[in-house]
Each structure stands twice: as C-alpha cells, then as structure tokens.
Amino acid sequence: MNAAEQYLLGELSEELRADFEEHFMSCAECARDIRAAAAFMESTRAVLREEDLATVRATGKPKIERSWWATLFRPMIAAPVMAVLIAVLAYQSFVALPRLKSSLSEATAPRTLAAFSLINADSRGGAATLFTVAKDQPFALYVDVPPQPTFPIYTLAVETSGGAPQFTVAATADQAKNTLQILVPASRLKEGQYALVVRGSSGPNDTQETEVASFPFAIQYSPSTAHQN
Amino acid sequence: MEFFDFDETYFRRLQSRDPLTEDHFVSYFSDLLHIKLRSRLNSSPAIEDVKQETFVRVLAALRTESGIRSPERLGAFVNSVCNNVLMEHYRSSARTKQPDENAPDPPDKTIDLDGFLVTKQTCDQVRQVLDQLPEKDRRLLRALFLEEKEKDQICHELKVDRGYLRVLVHRAKQSFRALYEKSERSASRRPIPEGC
C-alpha cells in the first residue's frame, strides 16, 4: 500500500500525515494518486452499498459477512435460544429443584417403614401372600433363603407373574444365613402379582444360576392412598 | 482535471487574474483541500468555509509585493495557508464554545469523503475492477470499506496477512486509476447526487 492509501485509511502518524499533505499539494503525480485513491475508495463504498441495497430489495436480507460466533448472536437465533434457556431455568427453579428438595427431605427424614414377611410363605410357588401397602411409600420384605443347596452368591429378584424382572439384589452366603431384609423403593411395584425368586450361583462370573426358591406375593394399595397422584 | 507542476507562466497568469487560470487553480486545489480537511473537520459548511478563506488569502498573497515568488512553492504555500486558516477556525470554534462541531477527528480515523468524488462513471469503473477480483478479495474490500472493520480483525477472519491486504488495495486502486484517468482525459466529471 503506498502513501495515498495509507493516508486515506488513517494509517499514518500525525507527523507523516502533515508531511504527506504538504507533499501532495506540491507534487502533481501524488496529487493525481491521492485523488484517484479517494475516488476509488469512495466509489467502492458506493458500489458495495448499492449491492447491499439490491440484495435487501431482492431477498429482504442484508448481505453482511459475519463470523460464526457473531451469527450466534443474530436475533433470529439468539432470541429462541434465550427463550429456551429461560424456560429451562424456570422449570429448574420452580419445578425440578423444589421436587428434588422435597424428595431429599423425605428420604432423609426419620419415619416408620411398613414391613412384610415372606418367611412363612410358600417357597414353591403356591398361593400368593397379599400385602396391602401405601401408594408411593417404600416398604420392606423379609425373607429367609433355604439352607440347601448352598451357593456362595445369591440373587433375589422380584418378578411379575409373567416373569418380567422388576429389580434384583445380591447377597453372599454369609448374609443368606440370616433373614434378609429387602427395601422396596416407593412406586417401584404397582398393584399386581409378583414373585420373589431366589437363585444361587457359584461366583460372579457364573452365568448359570439355579433357582432355589420362589415366594409369590401380591400388592394392593391401601384404600386411603389408592387415589393419590 | 489537468495535473502539472506549476511554472512561471501559470504563476504570472494567476497574478494577472486570468479567469481560466484562476478556475483551474481553484478546481485543482479544491479536491485536495477537501481530502485534507475532511479528516480534520466534521461538517461540510466548515470545510467549505476554510477552503474559501484559503483561496481568498492565497490569491491575495500572490498579488502583493511581499507575497510568494516561487511557482514551485505554490502547493506548499496553499497547504501552509490552509493550516493557518484551520488553526484560526479551531480557535474561533473554541471561543464560541462549539468544540464538538468542528473538532478534528482522531488521527487514525479512516477519511470519509462523503462521496464527493463519486460519479456514475467512477462506480462503473469500480465495478469493472471488482468483477475481475476473486470472491475472497471482494469480501476483503467489503470488510475494509463498507463494514469498516479493524484491519487486524479482517485479516484474522479472512486468514490473510496485512501485507496481502495492502497489496490488494494498492493493485485494485491502480487498476481503477488506469480506467479513471483514461476517462478523465476524455470527458469531464459528471457528479450525481444519489449513489451510483
């Protein structure tokens, strides 16, 4: 870029600018150059501005080059994103967090726990024992694992009458020597027919499990809680 | 506009108030003074005032016994008188407490000439030059002249260095100048009031 372009683009220091002004007033060649450069820059602005106007007339959109990050701040993108963020924040503030606080409070507060025993239930799949539970409240199941045959590891699975597993807990042989207590979380089991199936295996990598016992039971909600949401 | 180095004959014609020579003199320096003053004054009336006062003083000085005597110093003399008028204008503006209206622009500001040299012909010539440029170079010129972004930012965004930008502007201007001066020689300028 020569002096004329640097001068017009404001790239000269104040001292050089004054020197160049004195020079182009006296030098015919530089006078021609500064005038041509000024005409070029001004006309380029005018032409590009005219192109922009033509683009706006044709498409309704200005032809402005934007970097990718600047594009993110365009109203048509930024406004919906902001709306979604505000909605998410509002949901978290007014729904999700209060619900979590309530759940945490309930989980950590001392309370009574309903417990039901399968100790004397028929372990061979006979008649189901009926348990009446409060809806959306946890409860406990007591069960004794039959002493024979003996396995190092047991799994205790609660399954529907159709055999669909609901949840499974594991117990070692030592734990199985005593009565096992299984905590059933709130809302984990709905009203219906279930069985607690005890299976034994020779180790964690043993994929072949042997059924040791099956305790059928049924769940129904207590009338006072059955219609709660 | 005919550009040439001023000689003794031209100088004598100015002193003798030859109308054609005076017209040429005013026309020659009018654009140059406008380019100079536009970076220092924000209002068009102020620019015109300073220009007119400069011409009055220079022409008056040419006709006095103690005035300028060297034709080759004519341009420097015009510039010097303009600087004096400009300083008086600043002082006058400061006294009337209107510094903002006529305060000089920051030194690093790109000079905006308000399109005073723009004609339909120059726009056509610029289009010819732009049509021959690759799309990337057109984007560079758009960012520089229309969007008026910082040059470092332009270079960063379009992945070129400052040297490339300088060469691009210089070559584009040189291409334009060839067309511009050819038409200047064959036809007079026809300014249009609105754009191209």
Contact assignment for A65 to B113 by CB distance below 8 Å: no
Based on the fold, state whether residues A120 and A207 are members of the same structural domain.
yes
Contact assignment for B32 to A25 by CB distance below 8 Å: yes
Angle between helices A28-59 and B19-38 (to 10 degrees): 60
Q: Which residues of B touch A67 (CB under 8 A)?
A: 157
Edge-to-edge order in the sheet of strand A153-160: A129-133, A210-221, A192-201, A153-160, A165-172
Contact assignment for A13 to B107 by CB distance below 8 Å: yes
Based on the fold, state whether residues B60 and B32 are members of the same structural domain.
yes
Question: To probe the interface with A, which of B145, B152, B156, B190 has the most A CB atoms within 10 Å?
Answer: B145
Based on the fold, state whether residues B57 and B127 are members of the same structural domain.
no
The pTM is what? 0.54
Domain count, chain B: 2
- Please name which of B24, B8, B18, B32 lies closest in space to residue B81, comparing C-alpha atoms: B32
Based on the fold, state whether residues A103 and A118 are members of the same structural domain.
no
With beta carbons less than 8 A apart as the criterion, state whether B195 and A49 touch.
yes
Contact assignment for A26 to B196 by CB distance below 8 Å: no
With beta carbons less than 8 A apart as the criterion, state whether A184 and A210 touch.
no
Give pLDDT, residue B79.
95
Contacting B residues, span 110-129, partner chain A, CB-CB under 8 Å:
110-111, 113, 115-119, 122-123, 125-127, 129
Task: For residue A43, tell me if it sits in a domain.
Answer: yes
Q: What are phi and psi of A147, to 5 degrees?
A: -65, -25
Q: Please give the average pLDDT of every successive group of 10 residues along chain A, which has 229 residues.
A: 82 90 91 90 88 80 59 72 87 85 74 85 78 86 86 90 88 89 82 90 80 90 73
Based on the fold, state whether residues B14 and B60 are members of the same structural domain.
yes
With beta carbons less than 8 A apart as the criterion, state whether A145 and A198 touch.
yes
With beta carbons less than 8 A apart as the criterion, state whether A30 and A3 touch.
yes
Contacts of A212 (CB under 8 A, 6+ apart): A145, A146, A149, A151, A154, A198, A199, A200
B180 at A interface, C-beta within 8 A: yes
**Where in the sequence is the domain holding A9, given as residue range(s)?**
3-59
At B78-137, the pLDDT tens digits run 999 999 999 999 998 877 755 555 555 443 345 555 566 788 888 888 898 888 888 888
With beta carbons less than 8 A apart as the criterion, state whether A155 and A168 touch.
yes
Based on the fold, state whether residues A104 and A36 are members of the same structural domain.
no
- Please name which of A58, A228, A218 lies closest in space to residue A136, comparing C-alpha atoms: A228
CA atoms in the 13 A half-sphere facing the CB of B100? 0
Based on the fold, state whether residues A168 and A202 are members of the same structural domain.
yes
Contact assignment for A47 to B127 by CB distance below 8 Å: yes
At A173-204, the pLDDT tens digits run 888 888 999 988 867 788 889 999 999 988 77
In this complex, the residue of A14, A25, A37 whose CB is nearest that of residue B107 is A14
Based on the fold, state whether residues A23 and A92 are members of the same structural domain.
no
